[in-house]
Amino acid sequence: MNHWLTAPLLIPLFGGLLQIFMTYAPLQLRRTLALATSALTVVAAVILLGLADDGTYRAYALGNWPPPFGIVLVLDRLAALMVFMAALLAFFCHLFSIRGTDEEGDYFHALFLFQIFGLNIAFLTGDLFNLFVAFEVLLIASYGLLMHGRGSKRTVPGLHYVVLNLIGSAMFLIAVGMIYGVTGTLNMADLAVIVPELDAEDVPLVKAGGLLLLVVFGLKAAVLPLCFWLPRAYANATAPVAGLFAVMTKVGIYAILRVYTLIFGDQAGELANLGMDWIFPAALLTIVAGVIGSLGAAGLRTLIAWQVILSVGTLLAAVGLNNMAGTSAALFYLLNTTWLAGGLFLLADLIANQRGTVGDLIVTAPRMHSRPLLGVLFLLGATAIAGLPPLSGFFAKLYILKAAAPGAQMAWLWSIVLIGGFMTLIAFSRAGSIVFWRNVEGHVDNPGKLTLPVSVSAGALIGMTVAIVVLAAPISRYTDATAAQLHEPSGYISILGTKAVKGEGQ
């Protein structure tokens, strides 16, 4: 057993616990410790990435109970990639928060670290019920983070978010109960063994459970009929929180990718490719909804929130292609879109701070103090998210388009993704030209000065798009290998052979 697997869980957990007891400590000390914890999580994520890249599966049996009886953490390429992506995003959003967001409530750092903790359990766990617990951990932290900040504008969107997610949790439990009632196990590897061998009379129950799970994951991922909670919640959250939440929808995508390739993949007998015929059309409709929302957005943050929905649609469309090239393209796009959306949320906050009472609304306002820097970042971000060359969004979308099989699938995917990209371009051009060019004379009195940490964090996340282009070859090699690993579930099943570690006295 490799104890590194617990590092991305234990580091933010202990860091967060420490923060709870430090509310009366000097702010500078709390910030230093919190950021150090975030940075250590990134280090742990990089180490896991290095470990996972040899293509083997590593299992960690918690409490030394061998699978399928105990809960296992499983590290493979996909899990390592997700942990790394989330950790990097979280670090830069955390860095952004020291501008003052963290002073508005005592427990900001603790909640932020618990959020990372919850995300990492979700990515590393190999057990369906533990996935539910991970969702609850990250949700309760996200409830607190979403409500963080002064004023009352977050109350109502927060209420909607909490109620919807509680309904989602109830449905998750029903699905878990149905699957357990038939199969007698919730270990994902064990489920992958049992599901293909089910009796014909048990199949409908597991099918119902599996599709109910798809609804739950769809709610987390904000797929079309379940996406209307997102724009208001994200647009009203404070900037570092909105930036971190860019990864929250990706947890739903990760869960779909994991469960529907491993348990209900090609080899699952009667239940093979369950739900795949739903994912693809729902994803395309989600793209359409994202485009319509982006074009109608009144503020920059709302615009970016709808872009998050659009990116979820694009990602799921690639997953719904259900082939190796599609999965690899989806993972490549995932990195690009998550960091970009996070960076754009941070940037929108910087812009809003320099425009006085108008905030992020796309209307005429006094000129910003730091217009050149903000303008360049906005241009980079918009170009990349719309998918124009030479930035990473272009290559990511190109991979997705290339993965489609010729025929009706290709026609739908190409037309909707390309028209969606064009409309995104229109939405961002409109927003950018009004915000940056249509200005009145003079500046607002109290400009939110750009300090080094905020510029670095927003700039770094948006600059990732350049980094992804430069490192495109190693990244696509990694995502190709990840896709190959995902579509070959026998490797994952091999973790069932994990033995308990014998102590000296035994």
CA distance 477 to 81: 13
Whose Cβ is closer to other proteins: residue 155's or residue 451's?
A: 155
**Helix (H, G, I), strand (E, B), or coil: what is residue 366?**
strand
Of residues 406 through 445, those in contact with other proteins by CB under 8 A are 438, 440-441
Least distance CB 442 / other proteins (angstroms): 11
Whose Cβ is closer to other proteins: residue 88's or residue 365's?
A: 365
Residue 340-369 contact track with other proteins, rule CB under 8 A, x = bound: ---------------------x-xxx----
Contact between residue 82 and residue 116 where contact means Cβ atoms under 8 Å apart = no
**Residue from 127, 115, 9, 10 nearest 74 by CA:** 127
DSSP-assigned letter for residue 494: G
Does residue 65 interact with other proteins by CB under 8 A?
A: no
Size of the site for other proteins (CB under 8 A): 35
**Residue from 126, 179, 177, 213 nearest 491 by CA:** 126
Q: In the 3-class helix/strand/coil scheme, how is 20-89 assigned residue by residue?
A: HCCCCCCHHHHHHHHHHHHHHHHHHHHHHHHHHCCCCCEEEEHHHCCCCCCCEEEECHHHHHHHHHHHHH
Whose Cβ is closer to other proteins: residue 25's or residue 163's?
A: 163
Does residue 177 interact with other proteins by CB under 8 A?
A: yes
Place of tokens 């089910």: 198
* Residue 120: C-alpha distances to residues 33, 212, 349, 363, 424 (Å): 20, 24, 27, 40, 31
Of residues 256 through 275, those in contact with other proteins by CB under 8 A are none
13, 48, 176, 427: residue in contact with other proteins (rule CB under 8 A): 176
Least distance CB 7 / other proteins (angstroms): 24
Residue 318: strand pairing partners: none
Residue 74: strand pairing partners: 59
36, 170, 376, 418: residue in contact with other proteins (rule CB under 8 A): 170
Whose Cβ is closer to other proteins: residue 137's or residue 284's?
A: 137
Least distance CB 293 / other proteins (angstroms): 12
Least distance CB 22 / other proteins (angstroms): 23
Residue 190-219 contact track with other proteins, rule CB under 8 A, x = bound: ------------------------------
Least distance CB 133 / other proteins (angstroms): 7
Least distance CB 216 / other proteins (angstroms): 12
Of residues 286 through 325, those in contact with other proteins by CB under 8 A are 298
Q: How far is CA 167 from the centre of its chain?
A: 21
Least distance CB 189 / other proteins (angstroms): 17
Whose Cβ is closer to other proteins: residue 233's or residue 403's?
A: 233
Whose Cβ is closer to other proteins: residue 139's or residue 253's?
A: 139
Whose Cβ is closer to other proteins: residue 184's or residue 269's?
A: 184
Q: Tally DSSP H helices, then E strands, for the chain.
A: 20, 4
Least distance CB 128 / other proteins (angstroms): 10
Does residue 472 interact with other proteins by CB under 8 A?
A: no
**Beta-carbon contacts of residue 247 (< 8 Å; ≥ 6 apart):** 85, 86, 89, 90, 119, 338, 342
CA neighbours closer than 13 Å in the CB half-sphere of residue 499: 3
39, 51, 133, 401: residue in contact with other proteins (rule CB under 8 A): 133
**Residue from 459, 424, 461, 406 nearest 314 by CA:** 424
Whose Cβ is closer to other proteins: residue 324's or residue 358's?
A: 358
Backbone angles phi, psi at 360, to 5 degrees: -95, 10
b/e per residue, 362-373, with b = 16+ CB within 10 A? beebbebbbbeb
Does residue 43 interact with other proteins by CB under 8 A?
A: no
Whose Cβ is closer to other proteins: residue 183's or residue 314's?
A: 183
Does residue 147 interact with other proteins by CB under 8 A?
A: yes
Least distance CB 464 / other proteins (angstroms): 31
Distance spanning both ends of the chain, measured CA to CA? 17
CA distance 235 to 270: 43
Least distance CB 129 / other proteins (angstroms): 6
Give residues in contact with other proteins (CB under 8 A).
129, 133, 136, 140, 143, 147, 152, 155-156, 158-160, 162-163, 166-167, 169-170, 173-174, 176-178, 180-181, 184, 186, 298, 361, 363-365, 438, 440-441
